Amino acid sequence: MKNILKISKNDLKSITGSVVAIITILGLCIIPCLYAWFNVFSNWAPYEADATGRITVGVANMDEGTETLGITINVGEKIVDALAANDAIGWSFADDEKAAIEGVYSGEYYAAIVIPEGFSDDVLSFTRGNLTNPKIIYYENEKKNAIAPKITGKAKTALQEEVNAAFVETLAGYVSDAASVAQANGIDITDSLGDLSERIEDLSRDITICIALTDSASGLTDAAGNLINVSGNFIGSTHDVINANDKLLEEAESQLAKIKKPDTSKIDTASNKAKVIGSDIAKFDTDIIKLISGSDLAYDAFIDVSRDRWVERIGKLKENADEQGKIVKSEGFTAVGEKFDELSQTLTDISDGLKALNKDMSDEERKAAIQEISDNNAKAADLVDAINNQINTDIDTNLSKALTNAKSSLSGFRKTMSKADKDLTSLSKYMKSYNGALSGLKTSINKTADNLKELQEGALNASDILADASGNELLQEISEMMANDETAVADYLANPVKMKTEVFWPIETYGSAMAPFYTVLAQWVGSLLTAVLIKVKLRRKDMYPDLKLHEWYFGRYGLYMLIGLAQGLIVSLGDLLYIGIQCTAPLRFVLLACVNGLVFMMINYALVFALDNIGLAAGVIVLVLQVAGSGGTYPVEVLPPVFRALYPLMPFRYSMDAMRECIGGMYDGTYWKCLGILLLFFAGSVAFGLLLYRPAKKLNDMIAASKAKSEIML
């Protein structure tokens, strides 16, 4: 004990005898505290409206509104009015969509919200029986700041709430207006419901007629099936007659061997495939060009969902055109082949035009691109017609020559009969397939009849419900209430449920909530810097006779202990008196900071005492692990598995938990439990330093000698 006190006294004398040492010690006591205070200040209230209100989010309302039942509705304007009254975000209302998007690209806005032109129309699409989900486009700049997108996420939440409220409020308001208009014009709701019930009964009678028609159609399919069977038998008989006549014509064939009928099957195939291409081109013109020339939402949906599929489909049409061009050229129809080549190039132009479409195009660019696609599509359709006309002309000419020769030869007649035989065989196959198709058609017709019966039953039930409602006094009262007090009804429907929140252990500011993390971190950094700047070794051991290892250990720790206590007192008192954090138990807060100073100093002191240079590196590693995985900023549950496994072994955890008890309120002795665990870390560090010193001494000396040889390291 005597040597312990002597070492501590000599350390204090050494400090007071050197100005540099005094300044260094003062710096070790104060500088880490500044780190804690500045960080608590900077995080004081980053999520409050005063702070987030400076986060700029652009808003562009392009909604043109819509009209229904003679009433003009613009939901976009109501959303903008609601956002303007919301100060949680710094809303900046741009002139148009382009300005809002450019603001996000340039960094002027952290995010932007664009309400498209047809928004109101989509909101009320259900009134026209064509449900279309209204969409609002949200643009976000994730490069400008890592945390800002999380804050601007509040903008999306606020926007969604305002949209839902505006939708219900607008709908309720206009329903109320409609009720007022109906009442003013002497229209009684209950009488209207009775009329509607009668109309539904009329609909039910019409459905009965439809059911009878479907039953008749089912009978027609049976008759058509019988007719096909009879036709099949007739074709079989004709086939037998042709085979018999074939023998009679065999002798004449030798005389006409040199006359050959041209095989036009390949040309026929080319003509049919050209018609298929023409059909797809017409479908593309009807379904796609009109679609992408419509609303922005339809255009965006086409880009996201259908464009690539149509590019692939048109590519297959091009391949088909190339293949048929080669075939007809090989058959001698060069002019038709050139038409197919021109059609192939036009299809390529259409495909390239589709690929060039994108959401970033201006209106003028998009219209020009769509017009070019439409022109090429029309050109392709004309080429298909030209191909078919030319094929028909060429084939007619060639067939005319062939038939002229065939008139003078029985051989030609035989071939014609043979071809007719083949055609009858194909026709027979088609008849069988048609018979199967008729069977499937009959099944579909029967299902349609069943669905109509279910619809009729539902209509009758609805008629009964409306008939009952027409005499309901409560419905009449609701109608009168909506007509007389429309604002109250609209407000109630927009916000039918109020959320009541009860907070346990409330903490007024985010800075107070983050104070435990930054305070504990500053104390650890202070203890680590102390271990780096103040040596653990004694330069003159001869001054201490019979010096034992534990005396040296605790004697030099005395200086570390005093610095740790000073750091704890300064940072805790600064948090309370200078920063003004919330604290329900200030004395316990100061006590905990002092215990932190003693424990953190002992951990870092033990690492350096036992492991020297390796201990300094270990202290930094332990710091990094605790900063990342102690749950100071993010809940430990969201961290990777390795940090969740190390979490119970981190001193930061227990220091921060105890400080949170002091700030938010005490519960079930948690404070004292954490304090006890910290003292266990203290005892474990003492054992670590004393027990590992001698086993690690040889390694430490070897590392120190290697550092000295480098002549560039202390």
The string of pLDDT tens digits covering residues 208-242 is: 776 766 666 666 666 656 656 656 665 565 556 55
Q: What are phi and psi of 360, to 5 degrees?
A: -85, -5
Fold that domain 49-184+476-494 belongs to in CATH: abc type-2 transporter like fold (3.40.1710)
- Say what the pLDDT of residue 666 is: 93
Closest CA to 610 of 567, 556, 646, 568: 556
Closest CA to 299 of 349, 360, 351: 360
- What are the domain boundaries of the chain? 2-44+509-694, 49-184+476-494, 260-407
User: Average pLDDT in the 250-271 region?
Assistant: 58
pLDDT tens per residue across span 77-127: 888 887 888 777 888 998 899 999 999 888 888 888 899 988 888 877 766
How are beta strands 137-140 and 71-73 bridged, if at all?
A: unpaired
pLDDT tens per residue across span 594-636: 999 999 999 999 999 999 889 889 999 999 999 888 888 878 8
Say if CB 74 and CB 65 are below 8 A apart.
yes
How are beta strands 111-115 and 137-140 bridged, if at all?
A: antiparallel
pLDDT at residue 137 is higher than 80: yes
Token pair, residue 452, equals 């109509």
Q: Range with the lowest mean pLDDT among 98-107, 161-170, 178-187?
A: 178-187
Q: What are phi and psi of 396, to 5 degrees?
A: -60, -40
Residue type for position 258: K
Say if CB 533 and CB 31 are below 8 A apart.
no
Say if CB 191 and CB 470 are below 8 A apart.
yes
Look over the chain and give the mean of its residue pLDDT values, rounded to a whole number: 76
pLDDT at residue 256 is higher than 50: no
Q: Range with the lowest mean pLDDT among 174-178, 315-319, 564-568, 652-656?
A: 174-178
Name the architecture of domain 260-407.
Up-down Bundle (1.20)
- Say what the pLDDT of residue 403 is: 47
- Say what the pLDDT of residue 418 is: 67
* SS3 state of residue 92: strand
Say if CB 108 and CB 56 are below 8 A apart.
yes
Residue 545 C-beta-side C-alpha neighbours within 13 Å: 0
Q: Name the more confident of 21 and 154.
A: 21
Band of pLDDT at residue 380, cut at 50, 70 and 90: confident
pLDDT at residue 489 is higher than 60: no
Q: Range with the lowest mean pLDDT among 64-78, 345-359, 452-466?
A: 452-466
Indicate the pTM of the whole model.
0.55
